[in-house]
Amino acid sequence: MTEQVAQHYYDGFERRWLDPLEAAAEDTGIDSLLIMRSTPTHMVAVVSAGPRRDTYTPGDAGPKSVNPGCHKLYCEQVVNDAAPLQVDDARNDPEWAGNEDLVHFGLGTYLGYPIRSPNGEVLGTICALHQEPFDFGAGLPSLRDHLESLQKEIERDLDQEIDGACTASA
């Protein structure tokens, strides 16, 4: 990711979600688990966990395909479609062969889910990246189970934060 952009969900969000992501990464053996925030022009790392956590640090921003010369990002696709995305091996997939995660970091396997606000707007993603093909359904709980559970917990958390902020300001 090439640019630093301050973009968080709320103060303390990273501290709240780092340990659960680290636990899921350790439990499954995935290289990188991220919570990303979508801006009009970039996907911004908010939380980074796993053995490759230094590949993306909070605030790192990858340019979306709306920027001239930039390839579509995996997370960008999740946000645009408001639906999960699984890429088994970008090296063998013409749609994803030019993706920044693969080209710059060798991370060609991806699974991501949208994170929605209480009103249904897609704010970003929770996602997993790996260097080699990865069985997202293996293990109990599987990585897929971890991500789906974390997605729901994060959305509930955001709902409570937004409700709490509205109640505090009223």
Helix 13-28 and helix 143-169: axis angle, to 10°? 170
Measured torsion, CA atoms of residues 14, 65, 121, 112, in degrees rounded to the nearest 10:
-60
Residue 142 to residues 7, 24, 84, 145, Cα–Cα distance (Å): 30, 9, 16, 5
pLDDT tens for 113-170 read 999 998 999 999 999 999 999 999 998 899 999 999 999 999 999 988 765 554 344 4
Supply the pLDDT for residue 137: 93
H helices of 82-142, in order, are 100-105
Record: fold of 3-169: Beta-Lactamase (3.30.450)
Structural domain spans, the chain:
3-169
- 43 near 73, Cβ under 8 Å? yes
**pTM of the model as a whole:** 0.90
pLDDT tens for 84-115 read 999 999 999 999 988 889 999 999 999 999 99
